[in-house]
Structure 1
């Protein structure tokens, strides 16, 4: 019997064409891929040319879906700085290792900053920007001003889809007066790598406390002012708009009259600026939320007690709900380690040990720096 000749189906051929020969609608493929870790998505570029066209660079729809889903399942990123290498390890909130890799660096890391899915490492003679999910490193072009370390911030501007490294440094004018100067390096998300340059935009009217991590929220960088460090007066919060590259002052809550304190932090909860006041004398935490930024109206949104007294907060992060998990606030303390405050049940639990679920080997967290909240990301790095 002769083989039956396959008849052409014009509708099916058109459908296959719209799927780029993969056999499934493009939107369905993107929806499936957006649910996977970024490192797996990058590996799928080798599957076929049609998949390569979707994934290199990542399709904008895929990137947006993946970003939205990863925002509900944040990870904890630990950094082990053992020059000439740096080891990055990400864990879920259950303590399971999700990703780990090691990178050679040219000099010891002095500072590090996080923003969404990217990290910025400030070394003695170089600045690196890294996407730990895709394991892509970009060495930022050198600037002689980088030798004068004062403070750094890494921010994201949603309106232009750009990341900006902001560096404040000290200069002395002709009269011998110290002034804080600001320079910026811009990274455009997507495309091919290219050389960029630093832009000096002028003097900063405010000092930036070096011991605090500035936070980026809705296209602005926020930090505590340094003017009242020794005066006992209430501190100020300052903002730097990444779009206009201008400064503004944000008043602290009126009911909060505390002086400069090592246990005051800034925090982003649900896209809103918050001030965290930790009273060491009785291990109590108050979190003030900016309800109306135009009128600078604050409300004390959360208030709870910790396990022990006289323990300062090393870092604090908000973990959104997702995958059956309640909203939680992650608090790092020097002795007790990592604590999770459940906003719904108002209960506190200690995080367990961190381990590799594949090998069962426990990770020695004593070698690592305190964690930062990290979001799995497909963002690529391009200098402008």
Structure 2
């Protein structure tokens, strides 16, 4: 009852200047907890449309219990693959089911277009519990179709990372200067706070590349460099999103990859290295290694002979399924269909998913797309719908 009173108070404060709104009068005849439960069961695109009905309707999505209920329901469902590309100052976004063996005429779960979004650099992070970080400290919520530019914490050149703490249900952005003498800063999203300086237990390092890293089970991993003399030593840094503590991990001695993709393999931190298909190397951090420097290498071979020879030549690695642990490959372009290849490491086998009818001739004509397919697509796995509003 106390929570319901608190929720009603939050909604009342958000709609104080809308006393004559007929929608609110009708809504007041329905118990608040029942109304919120019904709304939380609707698809995200329907909820997004309801935001435009009135301030009263919009205020529902700011109530923590409502957004948490919606997030819990979405997390229990299979994640999605987001596919996005740009054409003629428009950005197109498609969502496809992930981790499901679909073969045939399956359209996207949803699709939409946005205009004038490519003024930002479209270098992006993975989807972190429904949010994506774009280069330039822009937060994108694909579900709500909203972009929020974060305040610049410093005039120095910086690299930002997006993390999520599942225990406290908080997103945080870690900002590092390329000058390792500058202290890092942290911003908790949605908390109406300013950037905070982390002054304790900060090992001097700087971002090695303008990459967004990976967040796994509340730990943010990214590539860093420690200055040694006139050169530098590459390492993996870990940042606990909840405690805001740093730690460093030595890269494998014979690791040659440029952009380490960190995953959990059989419960242990691992790095996927793909230099030349069909060979796939997984570097696995050994159990009980308190020094964080002993790795074991395991090699897999992708059975390319089982797929179309043309497809095997234009495969792109797009990450790992958080739910099944399978490696995800797509083509670096698509036309009127979209094809996904999953590599199951435990059995060294593959499965395919095929989506037809993504767009047809009318769509091509309307937006000036050629018949040879869309190039330079971005694929973002493990996306869950989110109502988080910044």
Normalised by the length of structure 1, the TM-score is 0.66
Of residues 350, 361, 384, the one that matches 1:376 is: 384
Cα pair 2:162 2:212 within 8 Å, conserved? no
List aligned pairs for 1:335-346, cutoff 5 A: 338-342=340-344, 346=348
Query: How far off is 1:271 after superposition?
Result: 7.7
Query: How far off is 1:43 after superposition?
Result: 3.4
Q: 1:109: which partner in 2? A: 121
Once residues 344 and 21 of structure 1 are traced to their aligned partners in structure 2, the CA distance between those partners, rounded to angstroms, is 55
Is 1:223 aligned to 2:198, yes or no? no
Of residues 195, 202, 208, the one that matches 1:198 is: 195
Cα pair 1:38 1:376 within 8 Å, conserved? no
Is 1:356 aligned to 2:358, yes or no? yes
Once residues 335 and 288 of structure 1 are traced to their aligned partners in structure 2, the CA distance between those partners, rounded to angstroms, is 31
List aligned pairs for 1:236-247, cutoff 5 A: 236-247=235-246
The 1:91/1:310 distance shift into structure 2, 3 A limit, reads: closer
Q: 1:138: which partner in 2? A: 148
Once residues 184 and 333 of structure 2 are traced to their aligned partners in structure 1, the CA distance between those partners, rounded to angstroms, is 37
Is 1:188 aligned to 2:184, yes or no? no
- Three-state SS of the structure 1 residue aligned to 2:343 is strand
Listed one character per residue, the Cα deviations across residues 293-336 of structure 1 (whole Å, up to 9, x for unaligned) are 87869897986311459999643121525xxxxx6321357699
Listed one character per residue, the Cα deviations across residues 158-205 of structure 1 (whole Å, up to 9, x for unaligned) are 34432222222223xxxxxx746523332127xxxx5x5334435752
List aligned pairs for 1:264-279, cutoff 5 A: 264-268=260-264, 273-278=269-274
Cα pair 1:156 1:163 within 8 Å, conserved? yes
Q: 1:260: which partner in 2? A: 256
Cα pair 1:317 1:330 within 8 Å, conserved? yes
Cα pair 1:180 1:204 within 8 Å, conserved? no
Query: How far off is 1:153 after superposition?
Result: 0.9
Cα pair 2:207 2:224 within 8 Å, conserved? yes
Listed one character per residue, the Cα deviations across residues 127-166 of structure 1 (whole Å, up to 9, x for unaligned) are 32121101232222244526x24x3211112344322222
Once residues 270 and 39 of structure 1 are traced to their aligned partners in structure 2, the CA distance between those partners, rounded to angstroms, is 36
Is 1:120 aligned to 2:116, yes or no? no
The 1:34/1:184 distance shift into structure 2, 3 A limit, reads: same
List aligned pairs for 1:285-304, cutoff 5 A: 285-286=281-282, 288=284, 304=300
Once residues 373 and 269 of structure 1 are traced to their aligned partners in structure 2, the CA distance between those partners, rounded to angstroms, is 17
Of residues 311, 315, 320, the one that matches 2:318 is: 315
List aligned pairs for 1:38-187, cutoff 5 A: 38-44=44-50, 52=57, 55-58=60-63, 60=65, 63-64=68-69, 66-70=71-75, 72-81=77-86, 85-93=90-98, 94=102, 96-97=107-108, 98-105=110-117, 107-109=119-121, 111-114=123-126, 115-123=128-136, 127-145=137-155, 148-149=157-158, 151-171=159-179, 179=181, 181-187=183-189
Query: How far off is 1:35 after superposition?
Result: 5.2
Let me know the Cα RMSD of the aligned residues. 4.8
What residue ranges of structure 2 are gaps of 5+ in the alignment?
1-26, 305-311
The 1:379/1:60 distance shift into structure 2, 3 A limit, reads: same
Q: 1:330: which partner in 2? A: 328
Number of corresponding residues: 335
* Bigger fraction of residues in helix: 2
Listed one character per residue, the Cα deviations across residues 258-292 of structure 1 (whole Å, up to 9, x for unaligned) are 23323742124698633223363761343637766
Cα pair 2:315 2:329 within 8 Å, conserved? no
Query: How far off is 1:46 after superposition?
Result: 7.5
Once residues 267 and 244 of structure 1 are traced to their aligned partners in structure 2, the CA distance between those partners, rounded to angstroms, is 21
Q: 1:324: which partner in 2? A: none
